[in-house]
Amino acid sequence: MTFGVAYAGLGVQPNMLDKRDGHRARKRFGQHFLVDKAAIERIVSFVEPLPGDIVVEVGPGRGALTRRLLARLGQLTAVEIDRDLTAMLRDEFSADTLHLIESDILRVGWGDMLPKDNGQKLFMVGNLPYNITAPFLFKALEEIDHLRTAVLMLQREVARRLAARPGSKEYGQITVLLAMRAEITSLLDVDRRSFRPVPGVDSSVIKVDFSEEPRYAVKDEGRFATLVRAAFSQRRKMLRNSLRSLTAADGRDLLPALEDVSGIDLTRRPEQLAVEEFALLSDSLATVRSESQ
């Protein structure tokens, strides 16, 4: 999904208006244009970068949010995959104020959007296409050294999953992995009728504040991530089943030792464990493996 808006009263030249109206939303890019001016203003109000942050808009679309962000910030970087929309944006906005990158946000090196070696961070804002939400968030974790904050509009179901608590049906792999490095704040719900064309789901806006260090004590983040993925690969099964592939060593079953060292009942299911418990389980597995050698 990309941002867009009705243009009445925005001072857009007639020829620009005609060109934008002629651009049909493309399914392959997941385009649904936001036409709710109040929602756009609310989203802009949530964009509060620290001095020196580089603000990047993901999928500027027809430029509705871009226009308001530039009015507030003066300068902006934007990444747009649709070449027709990129051409429209270049027609309207000066390169001195809008640094426009025609590319897929998943293929861009996020560190390349920052000045070199000065400690600046990215503040990202955008309305993510539903089909790239998970890949975007996983890339955010990979690029976390370059990222401070993101204000994102997502499918409401996904937004709830990211902020879910242990024991709920929404709680899952991405909840745990993101929680290790980010704090999620729910900001705004947006009805599906606020978009054209109207999507089949409602949306929500969240704020994601990323941490430079793990938010929970864990010795090895890579091992932690591997364990979390294994645990949720069979989320309906008990941990003793989903973790069996990680606890086999030279034909020996390390599950009993893992249960003893961690103190975690492995008959529990992964959605019942808090992030701290996954961290404990990860560190305990390393201890058990070391002692078994």
At 8-42, the pLDDT tens digits run 222 223 233 334 444 554 444 445 667 789 999 99
Q: 100-114, 139-153, 196-210: lowest mean pLDDT where?
A: 196-210
Residue 160 has what DSSP assignment? H
Count Cβ atoms below 10 Å from residue 225 Cβ, excluding itself: 19
Q: Are 57 and 78 in contact (CB under 8 A)?
A: yes
Q: 189-203, 241-255, 276-290: lowest mean pLDDT where?
A: 189-203
Q: 7-11, 57-61, 176-180: lowest mean pLDDT where?
A: 7-11
pLDDT on residue 235 = 83
Average pLDDT rounded to a whole number, residues 270-284: 97
pLDDT tens for each residue of 110-146? 999 998 878 899 999 998 888 889 999 999 999 999 9
CA quadruple 132, 66, 103, 129: dihedral, nearest 10: 10
Share of residues in the chain with pLDDT > 90 (%): 70
Examine the pLDDT at 85 and tell me if it is beyond 80. yes
User: Which residue did the predictor score with more confidence, 77 or 32?
Assistant: 77
Q: What is the mean pLDDT of the chain?
A: 87
Average pLDDT rounded to a whole number, residues 273-278: 98
Helices (H), the chain: 14-21, 37-45, 64-73, 83-92, 133-142, 156-162, 173-179, 221-232, 239-242, 255-262, 275-292
User: Which residue did the predictor score with more confidence, 1 or 91?
Assistant: 91
pLDDT on residue 249 = 67
pLDDT on residue 192 = 78
Q: 16-25, 171-180, 249-258: lowest mean pLDDT where?
A: 16-25
Examine the pLDDT at 200 and tell me if it is beyond 90. no
Average pLDDT rounded to a whole number, residues 190-195: 77
Band of pLDDT at residue 1, cut at 50, 70 and 90 = very low
Examine the pLDDT at 183 and tell me if it is beyond 90. yes
C-beta contacts of 82-86 below 8 A and 24+ residues apart: 82/2, 82/26, 82/29, 82/31, 84/23, 85/2, 85/23, 85/60, 85/61
Q: Where are the domains of the chain?
A: 14-210, 221-292
Cα–Cα distances (Å) from 184 to 147, 175, 208, 214, in that order, read 14, 10, 5, 15
Topology agreement, domain 14-210 and domain 221-292: no
Average pLDDT rounded to a whole number, residues 47-75: 94
Q: With respect to CATH, is domain 221-292 assigned 1.10.8.100?
A: yes
pLDDT tens for each residue of 256-268? 999 999 999 999 9
**Strand, helix or coil for residue 198:** coil
Band of pLDDT at residue 62, cut at 50, 70 and 90 = confident
Count Cβ atoms below 10 Å from residue 142 Cβ, excluding itself: 10
pLDDT on residue 128 = 87
pLDDT on residue 2 = 38
Average pLDDT rounded to a whole number, residues 198-216: 91
Examine the pLDDT at 4 and tell me if it is beyond 80. no
pLDDT on residue 172 = 96
Residue 13 has what DSSP assignment? -
CATH topology of domain 14-210: Rossmann fold (3.40.50)
